Amino acid sequence: METKLLNLKGQEVGKYELPEVVFARKADPYFLYEAAKYYLANRRRGTASTKTRGEVSGGGRKPWKQKGTGRARAGTIRSPLWRKGGVVFGPRPRSYRQGMPAEKLRQALIDALSAMHAAGSMTVVDNLTMEKPKTREIQSIFSALNPGSKKALFVLDKADKSFTAASRNLSHVKWCLASNLNAYQVLSAGRLVFTAAALNGLSAKLKEG
């Protein structure tokens, strides 16, 4: 499997050999859904909380006598029926964390990469080296490498201070290290832009299992 190797101006400068074990797999949509759900669930903080009638302040005495007032019977002003009362079955702090075996996470990443390659949403560049951190230059690189895409994820083999600083002001440009890439990032990327060095390292890691 071959794909074009581009420079930062979007011009072809050679070919890049893609490993079939990583980019030729037929993706399972439901498996990718499970993986995305795993990553999204583990991002949830689970801190939403409401107070029950036992936690709301006040309401220590009966607001009026049981009979003779013409009003409904009431034992406390902190009843869930009252304004500013407790909440029934409201959210409580909890963990949404899910588990998934490392081998399934690896396979999900392979499936996601194969799906992006099959959709034509992946680009390989020779390098992303920048002399000075200029946001305008990052925008021109994005325009040259991302035809028809509104956002992109640049995958690097190592952090580049100039690139990371220059891309900070662009909400549609994200970056990550190849060693930290996961299936959810791939699926939500819009377009993947790999450096050749990053793709070499990632392919070797995934082929090893």
Q: What is the pLDDT of residues 114-141, one digit of tens each?
A: 999 999 899 999 988 877 888 999 898 8
CA 9/CA 162 separation, integer angstroms? 18
Same domain, 75 and 169: no
In sequence order, the β-bridge partners of residue 155 are 176, 194
Same domain, 67 and 170: no
Same domain, 117 and 196: yes
Closest CA to 91 of 44, 134, 136, 31: 44
pLDDT reported for residue 131 = 77
Same domain, 115 and 173: yes
Same domain, 89 and 37: no
Domain CATH code at residue 140: 3.40.1370.10
Mean pLDDT, residues 140-148: 84
Same domain, 79 and 157: no
Mean pLDDT, residues 74-85: 92
Query: Of all residues in the chain, what percent carry a pLDDT higher than 70?
Result: 99
**Considering the entire predicted model, what is its pTM?**
0.83
Same domain, 137 and 154: yes
pLDDT reported for residue 209 = 62
Same domain, 18 and 62: no
| pLDDT mean across residues, the chain | 91
pLDDT reported for residue 39 = 96
Mean pLDDT, residues 101-115: 94
Same domain, 121 and 65: no
Residue 79 sits in which domain range? Answer: 46-95
| Residue 101 in this model has a pLDDT that exceeds 90 | yes
Same domain, 162 and 199: yes
Q: Which of 54, 78, 95 is the last residue of a domain?
A: 95
| Residue 202 in this model has a pLDDT that exceeds 80 | yes
Q: What is the pLDDT of residues 19-46, one digit of tens each?
A: 888 898 899 999 999 999 999 999 999 9
CA 47/CA 49 separation, integer angstroms? 6
Same domain, 169 and 188: yes
Quick one: pLDDT band at residue 207, thresholds 50, 70, 90?
confident
Q: How many domains does the chain have?
A: 2
Q: What is the pLDDT of residues 152-198, one digit of tens each?
A: 999 999 988 888 888 988 999 999 999 999 999 999 998 999 999 99
Whole-angstrom CA distances from 193 to 19, 79, 114, 132, 145 are 17, 57, 14, 20, 8
Q: Which of 95, 122, 157 is the last residue of a domain?
A: 95
Same domain, 50 and 40: no
